[in-house]
A and B are shown apart, each in its own frame.
Chain A
Amino acid sequence: MRTRIPLLVCLVSGIIMFAQYFSSHPIAKTVYNGILEWWQIIFAFTMFVGVAAFIRNSLKNMRRKGEAPYRVAALVGLTLMPLLALIGGTKFGSPFLWAFDNMIAPMQSTVFSLLAFFVVSASFRGFRARTIPATILLLTALIVLIGRIPIAELISESFPKLTFWIQSYPSMAARRAILIGIGLGSMTTALRVILGIERTYLRGE
């Protein structure tokens, strides 16, 4: 029962959502719209499960040496945002949006911008023309890096033109092959999931 019920649910919802593609009957439309709505509602609950798991783990790890202040900071932050939303709502000029604009957004983009430094470090240490494929990779990267800066246009208009050519034809062809591969793979996996052959999602209760 623990496996059969989920497999049956998956089969039914999968077949309905696949079959509705070929029907515009009002009943099919109603069922389709209903499933889309249910899907969103259920999905939203996964977010709350994640939050609950985060709180549980934070409380558990608080006992670890030196971890407590960081865990407390995270939990205070987690509580603060709903509190701010309760007090002032989420409209323009609210404390909730103030906290987002002046704390979350700057911190997130700063964390992301750290990658610029690591890219610099990696470019110096690891980007070597050791083999023919590595040399092709390196040369293409250098052409793109030069071709997309305004200074290159001042030197020669061929730089951006060459960049767009590489991007639009040889690079695009390789990406397209990857995309077609993913497309075929996704289709077969989806079919296997609906038919109950692929069951990995049932693991890890």
Chain B
Amino acid sequence: MTTLRTRWILFAGLAVVVIASYLITVHFRTTASPATQAAFDYLETLPESSVVVFSFDHEASSLPEIKPISLAMLRHAFQKNLKIVGLSLFAEGTAIGYSLLRKTAGEYGKVYGEDYIFLGFKPQYISAILGMGESIRRVFPQDYLGNVTDTFSIMRDVEDYNDIEMVISIADGDRTVQWIEYAGPRYNQKVMAGLTAAMITSYDPYLSSRQLYAVVGGLRGAAEYETLLGKRGGGNRGMLAQSSAHIYVIALVLIGNIIYFRNRKRRGRG
């Protein structure tokens, strides 16, 4: 019973800390990490009408973290008048990607089929990634809504990876690894990622070897990107709550260790 009660107290503590932080409005200065800065600078300097692929390679479970990243990067791409080809290698990313693209395209008055398109989902990611290197239209003969891909002006000059400047994989797992390992060496495709924080360390070797161009990681990465873009959103809004939750965890780790060492000392004496 005591264990269960301790658990409830710990749970309630987290809820109180996060909710209380949310009720306070504080604007933080979030300095961009080198990886986020690289991602921003790349999109910033791309010439207008360059084609970028946004691949929504994630599930709905990571949406609170992934959505602010996607929104910030999509807004930046539309603001710079880049052409966006959206797709998904995760079934759940399909509905999310389509909705986010529609939402951000609406904000910038972009036209479907001309400025952006959503090709939908294809299973078996390796065959989809390799297939796109040969012909994107062959892998996606129709878009998400069932229209023939060829009929859209945006796809007229897009045959394969040679016509894609960058693949931006928004992922909560290792799908970006497949983009790096299959589209990278064989087709020389540049890859950039928007990742959940939990995945950041797994991608560090690829970032270091330059197989991965840049990473926007976690809610913090989204906040950094929003700051660079000058548009506050979900990332910045959550920063105080995020900070408070971190401090709460740090405090618990320290308290837990103090109790442990005190008990060990007592047992030693006994």
Give me the interface of A with B, judged by CB distance under 8 Å.
Answer: 21, 29, 32-33, 36-37, 39-40, 43-44, 47, 89-92, 97, 100-101, 104-105, 108-109, 111-113, 116-117, 119-121, 123-125, 127-130, 138, 141-142, 145-146, 148-151, 153-154, 157, 160, 164, 167-168, 171-172, 175-176, 179
Contact = CB atoms under 8 A, between A and B. Distances in A.
Given A116-B14, A138-B253, A138-B257, 17 more contacts: A33-B134, A36-B127, A39-B127, A40-B131, A92-B98, A105-B96, A109-B60, A111-B61, A117-B11, A120-B14, A120-B252, A127-B257, A128-B260, A148-B220, A149-B247, A150-B243, A171-B204
Interface string B15-31: 00000000000001111
Nearest to A119: B249
B202 A145 contact: no
Most chain A CB neighbours (cut-off 10 Å) among B98, B145, B256: B256
Contacts of B200: 167
Contact of B201 (A43, A100, A167): A167
A168 B99 contact: no
Contact of A123 (B122, B145, B252): B252
15 contacts: A37-B138, A40-B127, A43-B127, A101-B95, A108-B61, A109-B62, A116-B245, A121-B11, A123-B253, A127-B256, A128-B257, A130-B260, A145-B246, A164-B34, A172-B205
B205 to A, nearest CB: 4
B177 to A, nearest CB: 9
Interface of B: 6-7, 10-11, 13-14, 28-31, 33-34, 59-64, 92, 95-96, 98-99, 102, 122-124, 127-128, 130-131, 134-135, 138-139, 144-145, 186, 197, 200-202, 204-205, 208, 218, 220, 223, 239, 242-243, 245-250, 252-253, 255-257, 260
B48 to A, nearest CB: 26
Q: Report, nearest first, the 7 A-B pairs whose CB atoms are least far apart.
A: A150-B28, A112-B61, A43-B124, A149-B243, A108-B60, A172-B204, A176-B205
Interface of B is mostly: helix
Contacts, number: 155
A165 B217 CA distance: 16
B134 A32 contact: yes
A43 B34 CA distance: 39
Given A108-B59, A138-B253, A146-B246, A160 B123 contact: no
A71 B104 CA distance: 39
B250 A92 contact: no
B197 to A, nearest CB: 8
A201 B59 CA distance: 27
Contact of B61 (A97, A109, A141): A109
A23 B250 CA distance: 56
Contacts of B14: 116-117, 120
Contact of A105 (B11, B60, B202, B255): B60
Nearest to B259: A124
Contacts of B201: 167, 171-172, 175
A6 B251 CA distance: 57
